[in-house]
Amino acid sequence: MKGKKFFAMLGAVAATGLLLAGCSGSGSAAGGGNKQSGNTIKIGGNFELSGSAAAYGQAMQRGTKLAIKQINKDGGVKVGNKKLKLELVQKDNKSDNSQVASVASNLTTQSKVVATVGPITSGADLAALPNQTKAKVPFITPGGTQDALTVQKNGKVQPYIFRSCFEDSYQGKALAKYVYNNMKLKKVAILADKSTDYGQGLTKAFKKEFKGQVVQTEYYQAGDKDFQALLTKMKGKNFDAIFVPGYYSEAGLIVKQARQMGITQPILGADGFADPKLVKIAGKENATNIYYTTHFDAKANNNAKAAAYMALYKKTYHEQAGTFDALAYDATYMIKQAIEDQKSADSTKIATGLANLKNFKGVTGTITMDKKHNPQKQVIISKVEEGKEVSATAVK
Amino acid sequence: MQTVLQQLVNGLSLGSIYALLALGYTMVYGIIKLINFAHGDIYMLGAFWGYYVIHQWHFSFWPALLSAMVFCALAGVIIEYLAYRPLRNSPRIAALITAIGVSFLLENGMSYLFSSNVRSFPQVMDVKSYNLFGIKVSNIQVLILVVSIVLMILLQLIIRRTKMGKAMRAVSVDPDAAQLIGINIDRTISFTFALGSALAGAAGVMIGLYYNSIDPLMGMTPGIKAFVAAVLGGIGLIPGAALGGFVIGILETATQALGFSAFKDAVVYVVLIIILLVRPAGILGKNIKEKV
C-alpha cells in the first residue's frame, strides 16, 4: 500500500509538473512570488480536513485558526509602519496527494496567498513542494518530520519549505543522548520499522549518536502483527532497553508482546508513540516503563507562553491542546515574525525571514532555523507508566 | 534448546492461523478452480464482526466466535452469488480479476465506513501464561492451536463423511458429470464458500483477540501468505493447506530467529518459487496427467 501511494504521489507530482511547465511564462512579475496587496495579508491553509490524516489535519486547522484570531485580536501584523490583519484561505486536501498538489497550486496562483500552513504529513509535503516552489510561496509543515524533505537532490536546501516540528534524525539524536546521559543505559537493542523512511532515519540517527553499545538490530515491516519470534530471540541477549523506531500501531503490539513475554526493560520510541492508541493496543498493564520523544506536552511546556496557549485552546475548543495544533499555532506565529523582521509581506521576503528566524519564542520552545530549514529547539521526553503519562522532561 | 522450542511454539501459533486461512483458499480452488483473493478480507470481516458484537452486544468469546463464523459464511455465500456465479462460464482470468476487485471493494469499503484507523480489540479473555519446562505458552496461543485443529478435523469429517462432502468431491472431479447424476452444483459451491469463509471468520476473531489490533487492511498480507501456504502444500488438497500453513509459520519464525528479520517475507516467497519450480503440484500434490 505504501508503495502504491508513493507511485500515485509521483504521478501526481509529475502531472502537476507538466501542467505547470505548460503554463509557465504567464503571470508572475519580476522577482516572482506573490506580493501583498490591500488591507489584509492572505495566509493559505492546505489542510487534511478529511481522509486518513484528518485527525492531524483538523488539529492543524484549529491551531492555525486560533493563532490568526489571536494575532488579529492583538492588532494584526506590523508591516513597516502599518498594521495589517491576517486572512486565512483554507482548503481541504482530503489527505490525498494529488489533491494536496492542486490545493497548493490553487492557493498560490488563484488566492494569491503569501505563505501557507500545511500539509501535515511528509508525503503530502513532497506533493505540495513543486507548486509552492514554482509560485515562490513558502509553506510551513507542522508535522512533516522526514529528513530529506527540506533538501534538494543536489544537497542544497529547498528554498520554500520550512517546518515547525523537528526532523526525524534530530529526535533520534536527542533520544540517544538522553538514554546515555540521563537514563545511564549503555546497551540498547533496536527493533526497527524497515518499511518507512521514518523508522530508517531514526535508527540511523540513533546509532550514530549513541555512545553506548547497540547490541542488536532487528527489523519488522509496517503491518506486521507477530513479533514473538523477534522478541524471543532478543530476550536471550543482554540489553538495558529496547528502542522501537516506528509508529504506534506496531509499537503497541511490540510493547504488549514484550511485556507478556517477561521483557521488563524500558521501551524507547519517538513521536510515532505519541497517540493514545498505543496504550489501547498494548493494554494498560503492559504499557509501562515506556519513554518517547515528542514535540509538545502539557507537563513539560510550562512557560508562560505555553500555559497561555493551553488556556486559550481549552477556552475556545473545550479540549486539551495537543501536539499538532501547538505546532501549527507556532507555524502561524513564525510567519508573523518573518513578516515583521523583513518589514514586508511579499512571499519571497517571508521565505527569507523564515530562513533567518532566530530565537523565536514559540509555544513548543525557542526556535532558531538552521541552514536546512529545520528548527533547532527542545525535544520533550515523556514517560508512560501503567498506561498513563507520568512525567515529561524537556531536553536540548 | 529452550529458545528453539519457544520459537517452535511461536511458529506453530502463527502457522495455525495461516493454515485456517489456507483451507478456505484450497477448498474454493479445489472445486471451481478459482483463487479467491477476497478470502483474506473475509477474515478481516470476521475480526470486525467480533469487535462489533463484543463491544455492542457484550458477547463473550465463544458466542462471538460462532456468530462471526455464521456471519462470514453468509458473506462468503453472498459474494459468491453476486460476484463469481455470473462468471462461472467465463474465462478463468475474468473470475480472478473479479476476485481482486471484490478484495479491494471490501478493504476500501470498510475503510470508508469505519475509517482505516487501527482499533484495539476488546479483551474478552484474560491472558494467562503457562510455564512448561521454561517455555512460555499463553492460554490464547493454546486456544488458537486447539480451535484450529478441531475445525480442521470437523472440516475433514464433513468432506469425507457427509453427503454434501461427497457432492463437493464429485463437483471437484467433474462438474458436468456431477450435474448429470443429480448434484445441485450451485448449492454445492455455495456450501463450499460458506465453509471456507466460516473458517476465515473464526481466524479473524481469534487473531483479533490474540494481537488486540484490527484494521480494514489486516487481511492483505495474511491472505497472500495463506495463498502461498495453500500452493506450498498442494492447492486443492485440504491436508496440504494445513501442512503448508504450519510450514510457512515455522519458516517465518525460523528466518527471524536466525537473524534475517529483514528478509522474513522474501524467504516465504523464495520458497514458493522453488516449490513451483521443483514440485509444481505442491508438497502433497500428485501430478495428474491430462488426457488429450
- List pLDDT tens digits, range B177-236: 999 999 999 999 999 999 999 999 999 999 888 888 888 888 888 888 999 999 998 888
Could you tell me the pLDDT band of residue A22, with boundaries at 50, 70 and 90? very low
User: Distance from CA of residue A85 to its chain's centroid?
Assistant: 27
Q: What pLDDT score does B3 carry?
A: 81
Three-class SS of chain A: CHHHHHHHHHHHHHHHHHHHHHCCCCCCCCCCCCCCCCCEEEEEEEECCCCCCHHHHHHHHHHHHHHHHHHHHCCCEEECCEEEEEEEEEEECCCCHHHHHHHHHHHHHHCCCCEEECCCCHHHHHHHHHHHHHHCCCEEECCCCCHHHHECCCCCECCCEEECCCCHHHHHHHHHHHHHHHCCCCEEEEEEECCCHHHHHHHHHHHHHCCCEEEEEEEECCCCCCCHHHHHHHHCCCCCEEECCCCHHHHHHHHHHHHHHCCCCCEEECHHHCCHHHHHHHCCCCCCCEEEEECCCCCCCCCHHHHHHHHHHHHHHCCCCCHHHHHHHHHHHHHHHHHHHHCCCCHHHHHHHHHCCCCEEECCEEEEECCCCCEECCEEEEEEECCEEEEEEEEC
State the Cα–Cα distance between residues A243 and A270, nearest whole angstrom: 9
Of A220, A225, A281, the CB nearest to B261: A220
Q: Which residues contact A385 (CB under 8 A, 6 or more apart)?
A: A288, A289, A290
B287 located within any domain? no
Other Cβ atoms within 10 Å of A213 Cβ, number: 13
Mind listing the pLDDT tens digit for each residue in A256-282? Answer: 999 988 899 999 999 888 888 888 888
Q: What is the CATH number of the domain that holds B26?
A: 1.10.3470
Residue of A196, A228, A234 to mutate for B, most B C-beta atoms under 10 A: A228
Q: What pLDDT score does A242 carry?
A: 95
| Chain A environment of B259 (Cβ under 8 Å) | 218, 233
Going by the DSSP 8-state scheme, the letter that residue B162 receives in this structure is S
Mind listing the pLDDT tens digit for each residue in A38-52? Answer: 889 999 999 988 877
Q: Judging by beta carbons within 10 Å of its beta carbon (0-12, 13-18, 19+), is residue A267 exposed, middle or buried?
A: buried
Q: Which pTM does this prediction carry?
A: 0.78
Q: What pLDDT score does A339 carry?
A: 94
What is the CATH architecture of A36-166+304-377? 3-Layer(aba) Sandwich (3.40)
Length of chain B: 292
B289 located within any domain? no
Q: Is A58 on the interface with B (CB under 8 A)?
A: no
B127 and A260 in contact by Cβ < 8 A?
yes
Q: What are the Cα distances from residue A182, in Å, to A179, A382, B228?
A: 6, 13, 48
- Terminal-residue alpha carbon distance, chain A: 37
State how beta strands A379-385 and A290-294 pair: antiparallel
Domains A36-166+304-377 and A169-294 share a fold: yes
B14 and A226 in contact by Cβ < 8 A?
yes
Going by the DSSP 8-state scheme, the letter that residue B34 receives in this structure is -
User: Distance from CA of residue B236 to its chain's centroid?
Assistant: 13
Other Cβ atoms within 10 Å of A345 Cβ, number: 29
Could you tell me the pLDDT band of residue B287, with boundaries at 50, 70 and 90? low
Q: Is A260 on the interface with B (CB under 8 A)?
A: yes
Residue of A217, A225, A234 to mutate for B, most B C-beta atoms under 10 A: A225
Residue of B nearest to A192 (CA): B262
B291 located within any domain? no
Q: Is A219 on the interface with B (CB under 8 A)?
A: yes
| Chain A environment of B266 (Cβ under 8 Å) | none
Which option is the CATH number for A169-294: 3.90.1150.10, 3.30.360.10, 3.40.120.10, 3.40.50.2300? 3.40.50.2300
The domain limits of chain A are: 36-166+304-377, 169-294
Scan residues 286-345 of A and list those with Cβ closer than 8 Å to B: none
State the Cα–Cα distance between residues B35 and B24, nearest whole angstrom: 10
Residue B257 grid coordinates: 530467529
Q: Is B256 on the interface with A (CB under 8 A)?
A: yes
Residue of B17, B100, B103, B211 to mutate for A, most A C-beta atoms under 10 A: B211
Other Cβ atoms within 10 Å of A10 Cβ, number: 13
- Terminal-residue alpha carbon distance, chain B: 54
- Angle between helical axes of B61-79 and B39-56 (0-180°, round to 10): 140
Count of domains observed in chain B: 1
Q: Is B113 a residue whose pLDDT tops 70?
A: yes
B231 located within any domain? yes
Backbone Cα Rg of chain B: 19
Taking alpha carbons only, the member of A386, A360, A379, A385 closest to residue A168 is A379
Q: Is A14 a residue whose pLDDT tops 80?
A: no
Q: What pLDDT score does A322 carry?
A: 85
State the Cα–Cα distance between residues A121 and B137, nearest whole angstrom: 40
A253 and B213 in contact by Cβ < 8 A?
yes
Tell me what the mean pLDDT of segment B134-145 comes to. 84
Give the domain extent around B116: 2-278
Mind listing the pLDDT tens digit for each residue in B39-60? Answer: 999 999 999 999 999 989 989 9
| Chain B environment of A261 (Cβ under 8 Å) | 136
Other Cβ atoms within 10 Å of B251 Cβ, number: 20
Q: Judging by beta carbons within 10 Å of its beta carbon (0-12, 13-18, 19+), is residue B123 exposed, middle or buried?
A: middle
